[in-house]
Chains A and B, each alone.
Chain A
Amino acid sequence: MKIGTHVSGFKREVARRVVLEVPERYDGYRGQLTGKLTEIIECQERGFTTTARRREIRRILEAFGQQVSTQTKETEEG
């Protein structure tokens, strides 16, 4: 799990605790959440304008949401 290059062990430890409170939709969802949060935070370091950053974040969430939806469905069915 990673929360970005700017974040060292102390914040990883915090994130690890916090995601435990989020329902695990399928095995590995929580770990993916922290990875996505890292990606979202890293968008701030990519020189985007605010609008472009928000658009990029929406794109990340849409793709992630799609993937979670599929995996959740597979888990429920399986």
Chain B
Amino acid sequence: MRLISAHIRNFKLLEDVELDFSTDPQRPLTIIRAENGAGKTSLLYALLWSFYGSEGLPRDARGLRLTSTASQIDIPVPVQVRVEFDYFDATAGRHTRYRLIRSVTETPRSDDRHDRGAPGLRLFRVTRRGDEEIGDGAQALVLKLVPPRLSKIFFTNGDDVQQFISGFASTERQESVHEAIRLLLGLEQLEIARQDLAGASRIFKREIARAGGTGLSKIQQRLEKAQEELEKLRRALTHTTERRNRIGEAVRKDDRALAGIKGVGNLEEINARIEALRLDIADLERRELGVLSAMRQVLQGETLSWHLIEDKLSDGLHVLDNLSDRNVIPGTSIEVLRDRLELAECICGESLEGGTEHHAHVTALVAEQEEVAPRRAKQTETWHHARRSHAVHASRVQEGRGFSELRRSSLADYTDVRHRLEAKSGDLRAEKARRGLIDEERVRRLTDRIGRNEKKKRDAQAEIGRLNGQIQGAEVSVSQLEDQYGKAEQKAKVGASLRTKREVAEDLMDVADKILGILKTEKIQVVSDRMNDLFLDIVGSDPDAEVSVFRRVFINDRFDIVIEVSGGRTLDPDFELSGAQQRALTLAFIWALMEVTGREAPRIIDTPLGMTSGGVKKRVVEMITAPRSKEGADFQVVLLMTRSEIRDLEPLLDDRAGVALTLSCSKDYPRDLVNDWGIPRPIVRRCECGHREVCKICQRRYDEQHALVFRET
């Protein structure tokens, strides 16, 4: 199947978007450039919805509205996706073009609810004479042409590609790998056909036995019973083997968890470290209080005053010094003057007898002193204090203990204590987390479970051995009874036609069996070898090089992909491959499988190159976009890529892309988009810009990083 075009209407923000896809076998790539939130995932979902309806959407997205969240409440919105595709019918040996239209009307309601009308699907065969509508069975035909179980391969995103090999998203390890192999090789269909043929053969044998008489009938009944027993044993063997594998898987996971816990360290040591950290933290908290107290003292003392108003204080001291120089302060002592008046003699020797001029002067001085004394006393006291304080301040500054220095040093102390506290607290949290991991209860639980599961695994293994023995015995019985039956049938008088029917059914069973055998061994080997070549080429690993990590990747008889590294060790794809390697391995597997089975199908990958860079990124794109080989089936690759993913790949994309276009979303204006489209709601628009161009629609603010050429429209 190859996509030719799609027209999407009112699906999420894709209000009216038409797309063409490259169908050129030499340039099989279609690049749809779109940044985050510009409609890549919506486009992928729209295509899935068109083929499979809501069932095709990821489980979590099935109940969500299909329309834009900007749609008006209570106004019905017609949603429609029209896809034109071409299908190569190997039986008829010709291509047929189809047009598929899926539509539904959705009415957004308040509170994020919506009502959805009955979905419609119309399928047309596009012919020269005009479109022929396929009425009944349209959906069945679509499902036949584009099997939904293969949708993971047809339509995927980078994250799913990464999880394809792992068991994270599935109940069974490598479930997607097994399913892809079974579906693409058609194993399931052949197995069902084989069972159907076996059933028909049994019925023919019963008819022959009835016609052949009691003897033959008895042998036939015994044979049928033996065959049923053999089938029962084989089913039990398959079931037990699967069970043993599942248990083995559980043991492996628990072992890994336990190894992780054991790698954390010894519980007593961790407890001792936690205790030491707690003591350190308590000490640091005390130091923090001390530093804060010292900071408060610095802020409350004269040092801060000197720092803040040193000029004013110096001016004040200067005024007081000046008063002192003029003997204004300290003030004349009143007591001395009063003594002199009592003694009636001045210090200078003159008489201070009452009535003298000198007495009057000294008396006036006493009165004056009595009036100004408190002020002078205060000035004197301030002068003495200021001189002392200034001397202290000067000496502190000289010794480097001024406010600025104290502030700097106390802040540094505080910062240091805080940093150390934070570091120690972080260490404490980490140690506690490790202690959480080492939770003895968990260790005990895991150890117990591993023990129980290992016993179950041993029991299952023993059961497998026993079943194998019983199967061998049953096979011998069946073979003997078949011999007996064959001889008895020869002797019996039954119609040649009846016998031929049975023989034909058995011939067909034989053919189906042998095809299955070859597919499960030889063809898987071819896929495995091709996957190995592609993967080693992408990751740039030379298996013969001394420093090479990867020796080979292969598919084992359980259809698991095994990654072998130096020394014959194997890697766990869940835990021991990087994201880029997981993506590379998945793509190598899918490409090898598609190539070997000759499946003609589009491969649409949303954001394929996350986590890849440099050579790996380039080689991944080189591999997935390579034109088909001469004998290979036609195929398409549609890559939904961001500018960053495209970066450095431009020359390769020039060669490989048959179609390149760009999607942009109006919501990105003005933050990312340069131009306003004048549309007052979020919608996605398509423009013709290829991976090297921009236009008024798609131009973004950081486009200069990508060396894009402006395209006039």
A residues within 8 Å of B by Cβ? 2, 4-11, 14-15, 17-19, 21-22, 33-34, 36-38, 40-41, 43-45, 47, 53-54, 57-58, 61-62, 64-66, 68-70, 72-73
Q: Which of B190, B200, B204 contacts A54, CB < 8 Å?
A: B200
Tell me whether B196 and A53 are in contact (CB under 8 A).
Answer: yes
Contact, CB under 8 Å: B511 / A34:
yes
Stretch at the interface among B49-57, B438-446, B499-507, B665-673: B499-507
Q: Are B500 and A72 in contact (CB under 8 A)?
A: yes
Q: Are A33 and B508 in contact (CB under 8 A)?
A: yes
Are A8 and B597 in touch, CB under 8 angstroms? yes
Query: CB distance B196 to A11 under 8 Å?
Result: no
Whether A44 touches B504, Cβ cut-off 8 Å, given contacts A19-B511, A37-B512, A58-B203, is: no
B197 near A22 (CB under 8 angstroms)?
A: no
Contact B197 A57 (CB under 8 A): yes
Given A8-B597, A69-B500, the answer on whether A14 and B515 have CB atoms closer than 8 Å is: yes
Whether the Cβ atoms of A65 and B91 lie closer than 8 Å is no
Can you spell out 12 A-B residue pairs with CB atoms less than 8 angstroms apart? A2-B90, A2-B91, A7-B90, A7-B186, A11-B515, A18-B514, A22-B511, A44-B193, A58-B203, A61-B505, A69-B496, A69-B501
Interchain CB contact under 8 A, B600 and A8: yes
Q: Is the CB of B514 within 8 A of A68?
A: no
- Contact of A14 with B518 at beta-carbon distance under 8 Å, contacts A9-B598, A61-B505, A65-B497 already known: yes
* Shortest Cβ distance from residue A78 to the other chain B in the assembled complex, whole angstroms: 16
Residues of A within 8 A of B596 (CB): 10
A37 touches B508 (CB 8 A): yes
Contact B497 A44, beta carbon cutoff 8 Å: no
- The answer to whether A5 and B89 touch (CB under 8 A), given A14-B519, A41-B189, is yes
A62: chain B residues within 8 A (beta carbon): 501
CB of B192 within 8 A of CB of A54, answer no
Nearest CB on A from B488, distance (A): 20
Cα separation A70 to B504 with both chains bound (whole Å): 13
Chain B interface size, under 10 / 10 to 19 / 20 to 34 / 35 or more: 35 or more
The A contact surface, by secondary structure, is helix
Residue of B nearest to A11 (CB): B186
Closest to A56 in B: B196
Interface 1/0 per residue, B88-121 and A, CB below 8 Å: 0111000000000000000000000000000000
Contact with A along B576-618 (1 / 0, CB 8 A): 0000000000000000000011111000000000000000000
- State in angstroms the CA–CA spacing of A41 and B460 once bound together: 35
Selected from A14, A44, A47, A72, the residue in CB contact (under 8 A) with B189 is A44
Establish whether residues B504 and A65, one from each chain, have CB atoms under 8 Å apart when the complex forms.
yes
Known: A2-B90, A65-B497, A68-B500. A57 touches B196 (CB 8 A): yes
How far apart are B598's CB and chain A's nearest CB, in angstroms? Answer: 4
Docked-complex contact A41 and B190, CB < 8 angstroms: yes
Residue of chain B at shortest CB distance from A38? B91
Task: Specify which chain B residues have a CB less than 8 angstroms from the CB of A54 in the assembled complex.
Answer: 196, 199-200
Known: A40-B508, A57-B200. 16 other contacts (CB 8 A): A9-B90, A14-B515, A14-B523, A19-B511, A40-B193, A40-B196, A40-B197, A41-B193, A57-B197, A58-B200, A58-B203, A61-B204, A61-B501, A62-B501, A65-B497, A65-B505
Q: How far is the CB of A47 from chain B (nearest CB, A)?
A: 6
Complex CA gap A2/B364 in Å reads 143
Q: Is the interface of B mostly helix, strand, loop or mixed?
A: helix
The residue that B192 contacts in the complex, of A6, A44, A66, with Cβ under 8 A, is: A44
Q: In the bound complex, how far is the Cα of B512 from the Cα of A44, in angstroms?
A: 15
Nearest residue (CB) in A for B203 is A58
Is B648's CB within 8 Å of the partner chain A?
Answer: no
Complex interface bits, B691-713 against A, C-beta within 8 A gives 1, otherwise 0 = 00000000000000000000000
**B385-402: which residues lie under 8 A (CB-CB) from chain A?**
none
Name the interface residues of B24-48: CB closer than 8 Å to any CB of A: none
A68 touches B504 (CB 8 A): yes
Neighbouring B residues of A38 by C-beta, 8 Å: 91
User: Closest approach, in angstroms, between the C-beta of B501 and any C-beta of chain A?
Assistant: 3
- Within the complex, the shortest CB–CB distance from B349 to chain A, in Å, comes to 142
Q: Pick the contact of A37 from B137, B502, B511, B631 — CB < 8 Å?
A: B511
For residue B633, which residues in chain A have a CB less than 8 angstroms away from its CB? 8
Q: Are A4 and B508 in contact (CB under 8 A)?
A: no
Whether the Cβ atoms of B511 and A10 lie closer than 8 Å is: no
Measured CB to CB, the closest approach of chain B to A1, in angstroms, equals 10
Q: When each residue 465-497 of chain B gets 1 if its CB lies under 8 Å from chain A and 0 otherwise, what string results?
A: 000000000000000000000000000000011
CB distance from B515 to the nearest CB of A (A): 5
Q: B185 — which chain A residues lie within 8 A by C-beta? A: 11
Cα–Cα distance between A68 and B203 once the two chains are bound (Å)? 18
Annotate B605-637 by CB proximity to A: 1 below 8 A, 0 otherwise: 000000000000000000000000001010000
State which residues 64-103 of B face A: CB under 8 Å: 89-91
The distance in angstroms between the C-alpha atoms of A30 and B502, with both chains bound, is: 16
**Shortest CB distance B459–A (Å):** 34
The reply to whether B598 and A10 contact each other, CB–CB distance below 8 Å, is yes
Cβ contacts under 8 Å, A68 to chain B:
500, 504
How far apart sit A33 and B633, CA to CA, in the bound complex (Å)?
Answer: 26
Could you tell me if A36 and B199 are in contact, using CB atoms closer than 8 angstroms? no
Q: Which residues of A contact B228 (CB under 8 A)?
A: none
Q: Which residues of B contact A65 (CB under 8 A)?
A: 204, 497-498, 500-505
Smallest CB-CB separation from B137: which chain A residue?
A47
Of all chain B residues, the one with the shortest Cβ separation from A40 is B193
- Cross-interface CB contact of A22 among B189, B204, B510, B597, cutoff 8 Å: B510
B140 interface residue (CB < 8 Å to A): yes
8 nearest A-B residue pairs (beta carbon):
A65-B501, A8-B598, A69-B500, A69-B497, A18-B514, A65-B504, A65-B500, A57-B196
Which B residues are in CB contact (< 8 Å) with A45? 140, 144
Instruction: Give the residues from 631 to 676 in chain B that come closer than 8 angstroms, CB to CB, to chain A.
Output: 631, 633
- A6 to B143 Cα, complex, angstroms: 12
Nearest Cβ on chain A to B26's Cβ, whole angstroms: 20
Which A residues touch B189, using CB under 8 A? 4, 6, 41, 44
Contact bitstring B178-222, A, C-beta under 8 A = 1, else 0: 000000011001101100110110011000000000000000000
Residues of chain B within 8 A (CB-CB) of A47 are: 137, 140
Please give the distance in Å from B388's CB to the nearest CB on chain A.
Answer: 105
Nearest opposing residue in chain A for B598, CB measure: A8
> Would you give the shortest CB distance from B1 to chain A, in whole angstroms?
11
Q: Which residues of B contact A43 (CB under 8 A)?
A: 196
Question: Cβ of B505: which chain A residues have Cβ within 8 Å of it?
Answer: 61, 65
Distance from B248 Cβ to chain A, minimum over Cβ atoms (Å): 32
Nearest B residue to A9 via CB reads B598
Closest A residue, CB atoms, query B501: A65
Contacts of B137 in A (CB 8 A): 47
